[in-house]
Structures are given as C-alpha cells and as structure tokens.
Structure 1
C-alpha cells in the first residue's frame, strides 16, 4: 500500500494512493485517524478496512503531497553506510554505525523547494532510503527488527558541508530548514523489500548517484536493532539509511547545488521525490 499525507485546499489528511489517485482515510475509518502517526497506532485494527478500499476518487494531480509524517519524533541518519561513499571521502568503512540526528524542523515535502542557505554555498544532496518506524520498540533482536517497520520512502539528506565539517558532530550541518525532503508516500513492507533496490539521484537530469541497497554496510535490520539498544523507537520516527557515492562534495571541483537546480531521488519500488533549489529568503530586519 501507498499511504500519503495530502491536502487539497484545507488541512492535511491521511490517504491511500494507487499512484494515480487518492482515497481519503481521515473521517472514513471506524477509528479516528487524523495524521500518519495515529494511523500507525490504529493500524492492526483498521488495516482490513483500508485494504477493502477500491475507489481512489481524487486525482493525484489535484492534491498536494506533504511529508508523510509531518513532525517525526526523531529523525536519525547514518553516515558512511555505503563503502563506495566512504571511499570517495577517503575514509575506511566504519566498524560501528555512525548515527547523527536531523532537526524535526528540517522536514520537507517530496516536491517542495530546498533552501540554499544565506550562510553557505556548500549545499549538497544525498539520495537515501528512508525507513519509517511503525511500532514502539526497545532492544529488538536483529531477526525481528524488520517487523518494526511501517514502510519506506525516498529521501534526500541535504547537507551543508562547511557547517557539517566544523565539528565532529554532523547535527548542525544536516539540520537546516527544508533539508529533509522525503516521500512521496510510505510504501508498506508487503509491497517492497529493502534488501536490493536501485537508488539513484539526478541533478538537472544528470545522473549523479547510482547504486543498490544491497551495498549498505549496515542493513535496515541492523540499523533498527542497533538503535533500539540505546533508545526507544516510536511510531513515526524516521531513519535515513545512508547514501552511495556520487555526492557533489566528492567531485573535483565540488559541484555544489545552486538556485534553480532540480534534485531528483528515485528508489525502485518506492517512487521519486523532486525538489528545486531556491535561495533562502533574507530575514526580516529586527
């Protein structure tokens, strides 16, 4: 199933999509579902009702798709999780997963603009498979970790490289507003397996990254199991699972994103997001 957060002219709603149209779920189910996290919490009980829907009455072109979880409790991302990406940065593959956070305010929709910050020209893209957690969990064995997944999205871990490299902690350089676009929907695990999916990024139609998720150093199950040893994962948390080689910072000279560039991330079996880069608006005077 493809589950969306969308709007037409009013408040965002939750819906089911077949890729061509959308069937609203808000106000339609036997339990109140107002957003994606409430849908996750009711999932076991309302799933049969959703599977019975056959009429996608609103054409997809008539809706605005938003980030599927508009305000995740946690956004966690892993660095150097493809060996080729580690190598292009002159680093050895890590012994342990290198996790960092992105601020919740960095969340962005699948087709919304990405800000090129006022304070930096070193704007970069990172195509990533996004894991959406669907169950509250702690200390999950690896052989059960995939059961904690609600679904998958395509994402772009947008990075401001000079700010990222000012310290050993990536948080600031990864947390600028608009720098976590993902979507366009959540594809449930019954439709797609994360084990071996093609993942690509394009800038203005030029192929920049081209790999498969079987090249992940730490696969999805390992990521969830490892994180759950430290913290409780909750419905609506999202994990950016790493990017392959081909980022702009590794080019010689570096190919930084500029206003007008269009970045497209495609993942096999999931779909694509596409975001245009715009110059951040100057702040209003105090």
Structure 2
C-alpha cells in the first residue's frame, strides 16, 4: 500500500491518496481522506489499513495528478528527528568515530518540501550546499516516552511504513558550532516522499539507497548496513520522548555526500534519491 499527501484541485485542497500507479508524468490514485497523511494517522479508531478502507468506502474518488502535486508526505510532523553518522563508511569519510548511541538532531516542519520540488538556496547559504539521501521512518502508533522505552515488538508495531528523504544541508553553517541545527533547517529544502510504503521492510529486504546528481551516481549503499536500524532508533527515542502518529525519523545517509569529496551543489543541479521498493524524490537547486 502506497499513501501520499497531495494537492487535489486548483483551490489547494489537500488529501491523503492511495496511489495506484505512478510514472514520470502522472500519478493516479483514489482519495482516502481530505486531510494530509499525518492527520489521517492521528485519527482513531483502528489501524492504518482500517482507516484507509473506511476512507475509500466513504469517498474513493479517482484522480490523476501531476507528480508536482505531491506534497511533503507528512507536511507538519510534531517531531522530525534526524540521525547523523549512521553508516560506517559515511562516518569514516566525515572523520568521526563510530558512535555508541544515535546522534540525533531536529528538523523543523518548515524545512520539509515536496518530493519533486525546486529548492531555493539564498546566496549566503549556498557555498557548501549538500545532499544526503536517507531512509525515512513514519510513526503510526503512539509510544509513551520516558517509561523505560518500547519493546522490540512495540517499536516494530509503531512503524506505519517507510519513505525517502533528502536531508539537505549547508555544511559551512552546520559546522559553525558543535550543534548542527543551523545547517539542517533551510526553509522548504528537504524533500520527503514520494509516498508512505507500508508493505516493504527495506532493511530486512536489503534495499539499496542510491543518489544521483545530474545523472551521476554519488551514493549507493544497502539500508541493511545502518548502524542503528529503524526499530533500534524507535526504541531509543521512546526512552526519552513520546512518539506520536505522524512523527518521522530520518535515519542517516551513506558515504558519497558532497562534503566527502568537496563537490557541493550549484544552481540548476538535480538531485535524485531512490530506495528500492520505496520510490524516489527529486530536488532541483536554485541559488539566489
């Protein structure tokens, strides 16, 4: 099952759509609920499959959209938690030791954008603009925090599905301090989508993440090689904060980022991130 958040008419109405087919020029699907996916996940009762079935019976209108009508999968997550240094080869290329615990930082909802969006980078932030292809976890069930953390089964059950992300970064700003926040939150820069895939476990299936810049393959690595895997991350995070439906965890990038080779993004560059079984997101960079 593939669920997307989309703009479905000229008035800007937003809906959760069950995607039936997608290619480079169009997306076809059926309306599940006239709200974004994050809002749908938070609705009760029932699990996600039950919510989708109920929504299709109530509405189910068929539609065809331009891929540009797809919005950030979760437009306003209560929490978007990113993981740094989570593939060993990337840790080496960035000159860090392998961490004992996940390296976490926050990404604001305002930093998210659609899966096929242009990203405008102001000139003062453009000197070391970088891409980071990442596997994204979407939370579907509430996990109370600070009560010892979730069990492995609870953590697994809390994951609604997976998506693709680009943790767009400004490296010079990122390393101004030991805290990375200011280099990770450029408005409308981080593509998230194209849809939530609920019936694929990319880590268990050894799905490969690939990133291209202007058609050149820069990143290619199995998601099974994550140091801290999705269930581990959910368990760890739930030890100190409550995870709510619609929260997202952006799990880290493999080697091959621009910072590793001093090849940063320029005006007009196109970045495509793809994960086997989950689809792809594409960012076009505009400077100025």
Normalising by structure 1, report the TM-score. Answer: 0.89
CA RMSD of aligned residues (A): 2.0
The answer to whether the aligner puts 1:150 opposite 2:157 as a matched pair is: no
- Does structure 2 conserve the Cα–Cα contact (< 8 Å) formed by 1:140 and 1:225? yes
How many residue pairs end up in the alignment? 271
Match of 2:220 in 1: 210
Match of 2:25 in 1: none
Superposition pairs of residues 6-155 of structure 1, within 5 angstroms: 6-7=6-7, 8-10=9-11, 11-20=13-22, 21-26=28-33, 34-40=35-41, 41-42=43-44, 43-44=46-47, 45-49=50-54, 57-61=62-66, 64-120=69-125, 121-138=127-144, 139-155=149-165
Change (3 A) 1:64 1:83: same
Cα distance in 1 for partners of 2:176, 2:108 equals 17
Cα distance in 2 for partners of 1:74, 1:112 equals 22
Cα distance in 2 for partners of 1:202, 1:56 equals 35
Match of 2:282 in 1: 274
Q: Deviations over 1:171-201 (max 9, x none)?
A: 111011122211011111x244433211010
Cα distance in 1 for partners of 2:35, 2:168 equals 29
Cα distance in 1 for partners of 2:211, 2:38 equals 28
Change (3 A) 1:52 1:209: farther
- Does structure 2 conserve the Cα–Cα contact (< 8 Å) formed by 1:19 and 1:60? no
Q: Secondary structure at the match of 2:35?
A: coil
Cα distance in 2 for partners of 1:63, 1:240 equals 22
Cα distance in 2 for partners of 1:114, 1:224 equals 30
Uncovered stretches (5+) of structure 1, i.e. residues with no partner: 27-32, 281-286
Change (3 A) 1:258 1:185: same
Structure 1 consecutive aligned stretches of length 4 or more whose deviation exceeds 4 Å: 50-53
Cα distance in 1 for partners of 2:255, 2:212 equals 13
The answer to whether the aligner puts 1:249 opposite 2:264 as a matched pair is: no
Cα distance in 2 for partners of 1:204, 1:275 equals 10
